[in-house]
């Protein structure tokens, strides 16, 4: 069993926001190591139900272990973007609350084989769902220079995206980019040293490639709208975002739904 030490962010705020009904039905659409879900499950009665969804099979296994004392939990290997379909397959129309903790988990960053981190020399992977085909290695070695530049600029908000994309393509003319360390070196050589003081130079590019590999942003607006549709009257939706692009999509969906 892999150790999954995800420290839940904004735990008290999320639980308070969900306003748990002990007999209610709740969805944790980003189950992870069950940090949030363990508290939710502890507040449910035997009539209540917790549905945990995650794309990461390792996360699901860890969550099952962390929640083994609770019998009223259903575990789903899937994507929160498909929440309507998942609930429909379970024969559930509407739920009392939904939690989405967006982004990558501390476990995924720490597990070297996953390639999410720009620290160290790891395989270029970045898949949240290891059963999918698209990896970071495929993105950096097969996408055109223009496409790479657009992704790094749009998803990473990286001002030196053109330089980075150009140097990625130049490097791969000689050999395939295999590791995170190789990619970091390319990025470092693409950004002026004077602009590398405030943050790690690879942070924005790694974020952009991770978002592309896992298709994190494109469906997010519709996911929020679908989640709202899945709520009972008076139900609560809590979403934790970690960067401006996620924040923008969620807020726009909230604004449009409020109208």
Q: Any idea which residue has 């924040």 for tokens?
A: 247
Q: Is the pTM above the cut of 0.85?
A: yes
Q: How many CB atoms lie within 10 A of CB 133?
A: 6
Q: What is the pLDDT of residue 150?
A: 98
Instruction: State the virtual CA torsion across 124, 152, 79, 257 in degrees, nearest 10.
Output: 170
Q: What is the pLDDT of residue 65?
A: 94
How far apart are alpha carbons 248 and 256 in whole angstroms?
12
Q: Are 23 and 50 in contact (CB under 8 A)?
A: no
Q: What is the pLDDT of residue 200?
A: 92
Full set of structural domains in the chain with CATH: 12-103+217-258 (3.40.50.150), 107-214 (1.10.150.170)
Q: Any idea which residue has 């794309």 for tokens?
A: 55
Q: What is the pLDDT of residue 199?
A: 84
User: Helices 35-42 & 11-18, crossing angle to 10 degrees?
Assistant: 40
Q: Are 62 and 4 in contact (CB under 8 A)?
A: yes
Q: What is the pLDDT of residue 1?
A: 46
Backbone dihedral angles phi then psi of residue 175, each to the nearest 5 degrees: -160, 160
Half-sphere exposure of 55 (CA within 13 A, CB side): 23
DSSP-based three-state secondary structure for 25: strand
Q: What is the DSSP letter of 105?
A: -
Q: What is the pLDDT of residue 55?
A: 94
DSSP-based three-state secondary structure for 145: helix
CB within 8 Å of 189: residues ≥ 6 apart: 167
How far apart are alpha carbons 210 and 47 in whole angstroms?
39
Run of H or E including 234: strand 231-240
How far apart are alpha carbons 92 and 86 in whole angstroms?
9
The tens-digit pLDDT sequence of the chain (259 residues) is 445 555 688 999 999 999 999 999 999 999 988 999 999 999 999 999 999 999 999 999 999 999 999 999 999 999 999 999 999 999 999 999 999 999 887 667 777 778 999 998 999 999 999 999 999 999 999 999 999 999 999 999 999 999 999 999 999 999 999 999 999 999 999 999 988 888 899 999 999 999 999 999 999 999 999 999 999 999 999 999 999 999 999 999 999 999 8
User: Helices 244-258 & 220-229, crossing angle to 10 degrees?
Assistant: 40
Q: What is the pLDDT of residue 131?
A: 93
Run of H or E including 161: helix 161-171
Q: How many CB atoms lie within 10 A of CB 197?
A: 7
CA 184 to chain centre: 21
Q: What is the pLDDT of residue 194?
A: 86
Q: What is the pLDDT of residue 228?
A: 97
How far apart are alpha carbons 201 and 185 in whole angstroms?
10
Q: What is the DSSP letter of 114?
A: G
Q: Any idea which residue has 């989405």 for tokens?
A: 100
């Amino acid at each position: 069993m892999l150790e999954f030490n995800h420290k839940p962010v904004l735990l008290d705020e999320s639980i308070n926001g969900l306003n748990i009904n002990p007999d209610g039905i709740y969805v944790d659409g980003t189950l992870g190591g069950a940090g949030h879900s363990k508290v939710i499950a502890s507040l449910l009665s035997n009539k209540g139900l917790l549905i945990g969804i995650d794309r990461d099979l390792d996360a699901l296994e860890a969550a099952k272990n962390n929640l083994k004392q609770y019998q009223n939990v259903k575990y789903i290997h899937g994507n929160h973007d498909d929440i309507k379909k998942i609930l429909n397959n379970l024969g559930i129309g509407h739920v009392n609350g939904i939690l989405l903790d967006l982004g990558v988990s501390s476990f995924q960053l720490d597990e070297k084989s996953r390639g999410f981190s720009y620290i160290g020399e790891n395989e270029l992977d970045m898949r949240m769902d290891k059963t999918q085909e698209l990896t970071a290695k495929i993105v950096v070695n097969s996408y055109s220079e223009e496409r790479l530049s657009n992704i790094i600029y749009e998803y990473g908000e990286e001002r030196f995206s053109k330089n980075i994309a150009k140097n990625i393509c130049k490097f791969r003319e000689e050999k395939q980019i295999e590791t995170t360390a190789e990619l970091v070196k390319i990025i470092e050589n693409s950004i002026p040293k004077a602009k590398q003081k405030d943050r790690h130079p690879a942070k924005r590019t790694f974020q952009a490639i991770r978002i592309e590999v896992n298709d994190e942003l494109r469906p997010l607006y519709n996911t929020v709208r679908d989640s709202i549709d899945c709520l009972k009257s008076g139900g609560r939706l809590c979403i934790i975002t970690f960067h401006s692009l996620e924040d923008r999509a969620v807020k726009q969906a909230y604004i449009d739904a409020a109208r």
